[in-house]
Amino acid sequence: MADHGLPGLARGLTNYGDRDFALYLRRSFARSMGYSTRALARPIVGIADSASGFNNCHRHFPELIEAVKRGVLAAGGTPITFPTISLGEVFLDPTSMLYRNLMSMDVEEMVRAQPMDAAVLVGGCDKTVPAQLMGAASAGVPAIQLLAGPMMTGRHEGERLGACTDCRRFWGQYRAGKLTPQQIDGIEGRLATTAGTCAVMGTASTMACITEALGMALPGTAAIPAVHADRLRAAEATGEAAVALAHSRLTPDRIVTAHAIENALRVLLCIGGSTNAIVHLTAIAGRLGIPISLETVNRLSDDTPVLVDLKPSGQHYMEDFFAAGGMGGVLRELKPKLHLDCVTVTGQKLGDRLNGDGAWVDRQVIRSAAEPFQPVGGLVALFGSLAPRGAILKRSAADARLFEREGRAVVFTSLEDLSNRVDDPALDVTADDFLVLQNAGPKGAPGMPEAGYLPIPQKLSRAGVTDMVRISDARMSGTAYGTIVLHVTPESADGGPLGLVKSGDRIRLSVKARKLDLLVDDAELRRRANGGQAAAPKRGYRRLYLDHVLQADLGCDFDFLRGGQA
């Protein structure tokens, strides 16, 4: 046993049938890496490193991890890094979501199997933080999240650019024939110019804010830009906090409680956060046996204003949010609606943090509760005959003129069908129609890709149409915008009614009534019923995925990963 009173390197010994031999061998091999016995007797802080050459958002991790190590050493611990899977959003085929659960299993098993008294989880790009939090929650080891931080914006011909809301805006202009190939090529080189996660309130930034709201990251660290010196100081402080966690043994299940989850949902709604965060938060909560219902989301949404004016719902970027006061500014405005008794990773309660946290706030970016950016929350859940277990609409980033209407369905049966036909000049479609995409859900695609942002058919976009009602069982990038109904559950490939829609059917959308109905009678639907067309199981991980992935209302986690610890 190490003399600091923690098991340290003696935690979870390799099974040789002789514990003393296992410890002697482990120490010997650890010393072969140059560690002194004094260093090995200190609390061991594992640092989960998700850097990769295929992850641009994490390219500053070597420097960040050096700062974490500095903090661990200063606090009397010994830092030991280890690699995990990295999920670089745009480098993965068919979609990073297919691999989120795989990364969560990697994190869970390596945090549990390796001898560490606490873990620092270093992540940022969309799926990495959910995967790390899911894994840490299941591993039951004290853990703290260090976030990558957002990218800085770039400039193009006097205009400010930030991935990736502006990526979509310019691509839409290019599709509409308003930009030349030379112009779009110039923009391509300026959309993402620094390390860090997307510069707007996309999924990565949303998850960063939620992580701080949950209490799993240090106060004030969610929005610090990736390349800012404060991010390095936050990394150092995270290392120090990890040593304190090693001593306090404060595990994620005592931080991520039902009250903390409700706080995080409030924050998601008031920052105009990504629809993806509902799925990820549901999965994280599910690991600890905490249910999240979409009815609860609706109740909170009606009672939580949008306070943050950031793209894609508003105008500003993450670096502005940081300069404006960041999460402290948001949480103080939300304080009357928050559960202040929640313990954070520092051991401090949320209420204590907010009592002493009264810094300046830029009201251009973070509005007051008295004068919000929008009066109600950014997301709303819809139910009805087309979505019996719910669907999600990001109303803060949609065109309210399309919220109460009935339309004719124009159906695409798959992603391939969509890409083959959407720009066909002969496509029978008008701006008043509802575009419907089938077989793009968790099982159908598979992996529930971010394909819900169906492109406006080119003949309409060239005529000036910028938004239409679009409905699918897919997800949408948190950086996207439009009147887009997502996560229709059950998905079409799992027998959901979405799979029975035919072109020409009528669909009624009412955001006010929270309804999404297919106006086709039951007898006709029974005639059409085919049980869905899930992708054919393959070998290996994809087979595991297809056999066990759950629907969006259960966070798309695997059935065998939910609930308590192993």
Binding site for ligand FES (CB under 6 A): 57, 89-90, 125-126, 197-198, 202, 204
DSSP 156-221: ETTEEE-TTHHHHHHHHHHHTT-S-HHHHHHHHTTS--SSSB-SSSSHHHHHHHHHHHHT-S-TT-
Task: State the nearest-atom distance from the C-beta of 234 to ligand FES, in Å.
Answer: 18
Q: Residue 195 or 501: which CB sits closer to ligand FES?
A: 195
Which residues, other chains included, contact 413 with Cβ-Cβ below 8 Å and sequence gap of 6+? 438, 439
43 within 8 A of 76, measured Cβ to Cβ: yes
Task: State the nearest-atom distance from the C-beta of 124 to ligand FES, in Å.
Answer: 7
- Token pair belonging to 56: 């641009």
Q: Residue 164 or 429: which CB sits closer to ligand FES?
A: 164
Q: Residue 204 or 237: which CB sits closer to ligand FES?
A: 204
Q: Residue 197 or 483: which CB sits closer to ligand FES?
A: 197
Q: Residue 166 or 517: which CB sits closer to ligand FES?
A: 166
Dihedral sign from CA coordinates of 214, 215, 216, 220: positive
Task: State the nearest-atom distance from the C-beta of 197 to ligand FES, in Å.
Answer: 4
Task: State the nearest-atom distance from the C-beta of 529 to ligand FES, in Å.
Answer: 39
Q: Residue 56 or 472: which CB sits closer to ligand FES?
A: 56
Task: State the nearest-atom distance from the C-beta of 155 to ligand FES, in Å.
Answer: 19
Q: Residue 47 or 199: which CB sits closer to ligand FES?
A: 199
281 within 8 A of 261, measured Cβ to Cβ: yes
Residue 562's alpha-carbon distances to 123, 135, 180, 279, 288, in angstroms, are 22, 11, 49, 14, 7
Task: State the nearest-atom distance from the C-beta of 134 to ligand FES, in Å.
Answer: 18
**Torsion angle, CA of 424/429/434/435, rounded to 10 degrees?**
-10
End-to-end CA distance of the chain: 25
Q: Residue 195 or 493: which CB sits closer to ligand FES?
A: 195
Helices and strands of the chain, counted as H and E runs:
20, 14
Q: Residue 192 or 393: which CB sits closer to ligand FES?
A: 192
Task: State the nearest-atom distance from the C-beta of 166 to ligand FES, in Å.
Answer: 12
Task: State the nearest-atom distance from the C-beta of 145 to ligand FES, in Å.
Answer: 15
Q: Residue 89 or 106: which CB sits closer to ligand FES?
A: 89
Q: Is the link from the previous residue into 490 a cis peptide, with omega within 30 of 0?
A: yes
Task: State the nearest-atom distance from the C-beta of 148 to ligand FES, in Å.
Answer: 8
Cβ neighbours around 538 below 10 Å, total: 12
Closest CA to 307 of 338, 340, 281, 350: 338
177 within 8 A of 224, measured Cβ to Cβ: no
- Token pair belonging to 388: 């019996």
Q: What's the number of CA atoms in the CB half-sphere (13 Å) around residue 418? A: 22
Q: Hey, is 494 helix, strand or coil? A: helix
Task: State the nearest-atom distance from the C-beta of 150 to ligand FES, in Å.
Answer: 8
Q: How far apart are CA 422 and CA 456, in angstroms?
A: 8
